[in-house]
Structure 1
Amino acid sequence: MARSKLHAVVRVATLVASIGAPGLAFAADLLPPPPPPPLPPPVDFAGGWYLRGDVGASIYTAPKYAVNDIPGTHFFGEAQSGGLFAGVGVGYQFNNFFRADVTGEYRTASLRLSSYNDFGSGCGCDPTGRNFNLTSGHYDAAVVLANGYFDLGTWYGITPFVGGGVGAAFNYFSGFTDSGVTNFYAPYVYNQPTSPGVFKSKTTESFAWALHAGLAYDVTPNFKVELAYRYLNLGHAQTGVLTCLDASAPACTTVLKAKNLEAHDIKLGVRYLIGSAFVPALPPLMPEPLVRKY
Structure 2
Amino acid sequence: MKINAFASVLLLTALPLSVFASEGYYGAARLFHADQSAREMDSSSRPGVGQFVSGHERERFYNGAFAVGYQFGNGWRTEGEYVLRKESEYTSGSTAFPDSFNHMKTDVSRLMLNVYRDYQLGYGFALYGTAGIGIARVKVDGWQGNPSRDYADSTQDNFAWSLGAGVSYSPIERLTLDLGYRYIDMGKVESGYNRFTNARGLKDEQMKARLVSSEVVLGARYLF
- 2:223 is the counterpart of 1:257: no
SS in 2 for 1:53: strand
Superposed, which structure 2 residues align to 1:108-123 within 5 Å?
Answer: 108-116=86-94
Residue of 198, 201, 204 corresponding to 2:150: 198
Say if 2:122 is the partner of 1:155.
yes
Task: Using the aligned pairs only, state the percent identity.
Answer: 22
TM-score (norm 1): 0.62
Deviations 1:263-287 (A, max 9, x none): 001111111101xxxxxxxxxxxxx
C-alpha separation in 2, matches of 1:67 and 1:137: 11
Which amino acid letter does the alignment assign opposite residue 67 of structure 2? G
Note the residue ranges of structure 2 that are not aligned, 5 or more in a row: 1-16
What's the counterpart of residue 52 of structure 2? 75
- In 1, distance between residues paired with 2:105 and 2:97? 24
User: What letter is aligned with 1:177?
Assistant: W
Q: Does 1:47 align with 2:20?
A: no
Correspondence for 1:270: 220
Trace 1:91-170 onto structure 2 (pairs within 5 A). Answer: 91-116=69-94, 130-132=96-98, 133-170=100-137
Give the equivalent residue in structure 2 for 1:285.
none
Change (3 A) 1:157 1:224: same
Q: Which residue of 2 aligns with 1:189?
A: none
How far did 1:209 drift?
0.1
Give the residue type in structure 2 aligned to 1:103.
E
Q: Which residue of 1 aligns with 2:144?
A: 178
Return closer, same or farther for 1:76/1:235 CA change in 2, 3 Å cut-off.
farther
Query: Is the 8 Å Cα contact of residues 108 and 138 (structure 1) preserved in structure 2?
Result: no
1:238 equivalent to 2:190? Answer yes
CA shift, 1:98, in A, is: 1.1
- Take 1:178 and 1:68, find their aligned partners in 2: how far apart are those partners? 13
Q: What letter is aligned with 2:134? A: G
Aligned amino acid, residue 77 of structure 1: S
Q: Is the Cα–Cα contact under 8 Å of residues 91 and 103 in structure 2 kept in the other structure?
A: yes
In structure 2, the residue corresponding to 1:52 is in which secondary structure? Answer: strand
2:39 to 63, 79, 92: 63
Cα distance in 2 for partners of 1:198, 1:159 equals 50
- Deviation string 1:185-205 (CA, Å, 9 cap, x unpaired) is xxxxxxxxxxx7111222111
1:226 aligned onto 2:178? yes
Partner of residue 213 from structure 1, selected from 162, 165, 170 = 165
Per-residue CA distance 1:190-223 (angstroms, 9 max, x = gap) = xxxxxx7111222111110001111111121211
Task: Find the residue that maps to 1:154 and give its secondary structure.
Answer: strand
Tell me, in whole angstroms, the C-alpha distance in 2 between the residues paired with 1:112 and 1:89.
29
Native 8 Å contact 1:242 1:254 kept in 2: yes
Shift of the 150–78 alpha-carbon distance from structure 1 to 2, 3 Å rule, reads farther
C-alpha distance in 2 between matches for 1:63 and 1:82: 14
For residue 23 of structure 2, give the secondary structure of its aligned residue in structure 1: strand
TM-score by length of 2: 0.80
Alignment RMSD, CA only?
Answer: 2.5
- C-alpha contact 2:38 2:90 (8 A) present in aligned 1: no
Question: Residues 90, 258 of structure 1: CA spacing in aligned structure 2 closer, same or farther, 3 A cutoff?
Answer: same
Query: Are the equivalent residues in 1 in contact too, given 2:114–2:133 (CA < 8 A)?
Result: yes
What amino acid is the match of 1:56? F
1:103 offset after TM fit, Å? 0.7
Figure out how many residues of one structure are paired with residues of the other and give that number. Answer: 203
State which structure, 1 or 2, has the greater radius of gyration over its C-alpha atoms.
1
8 Å contact from structure 1 (residues 83, 107) kept in 2: no
Conserved 8 A contact 2:104-2:207: no
Q: Is the 8 A contact 1:70 1:251 kept in 2?
A: no
CA shift, 1:251, in A, is 4.5
